[in-house]
Amino acid sequence: MKNKELVYIFISILACFSFIFANALINKSISAQEDELFSSNTPLLSYRNTIYGIEIQYPDNWEKIDPTPDPDIRAIDVVSFFSP
């Protein structure tokens, strides 16, 4: 019985360390992507939609798509941005 409890404890500790390690790798990857995005010299363009009160800046190499209104669709699609 004691060995079984030790195995459960070991597996629990191993799972916790695996989670912590995976989370650290994900955060490092996200941080690197943010650093690359914000440190690049890519010029920014402005997008403004006064109807919905939206104003953002986006990299000039991204594609901006203004949707065509479709009366059959009830969702509101304001704008879409796609990275290269």
Pick from 61, 64, 50, 54: nearest CA to 84: 61
- Do 36 and 50 lie in one domain? The reply is no
What percent helix, strand, coil does the chain show, rounded to 5? 45, 20, 35
- Do 30 and 54 lie in one domain? The reply is no
Spatial distance between the Cα atoms of 66 and 70, rounded to a whole number of angstroms: 12
Phi/psi at 58 (5° precision): -140, 150
- Do 11 and 48 lie in one domain? The reply is no
- Do 15 and 52 lie in one domain? The reply is no
CB distance 42 to 59 below 8 Å:
yes
pTM of the model: 0.48
CB distance 81 to 58 below 8 Å:
yes
- Do 47 and 83 lie in one domain? The reply is yes
More confident: 74 or 47 = 47
Q: Which domain holds residue 65?
A: 42-84
In this predicted structure, what is the pLDDT of residue 45? 93
pLDDT one-digit tens code per residue, 4-29 = 777 777 777 777 667 676 666 676 67
pLDDT one-digit tens code per residue, 21-62 = 666 667 667 676 666 666 667 789 999 999 889 999 998 889
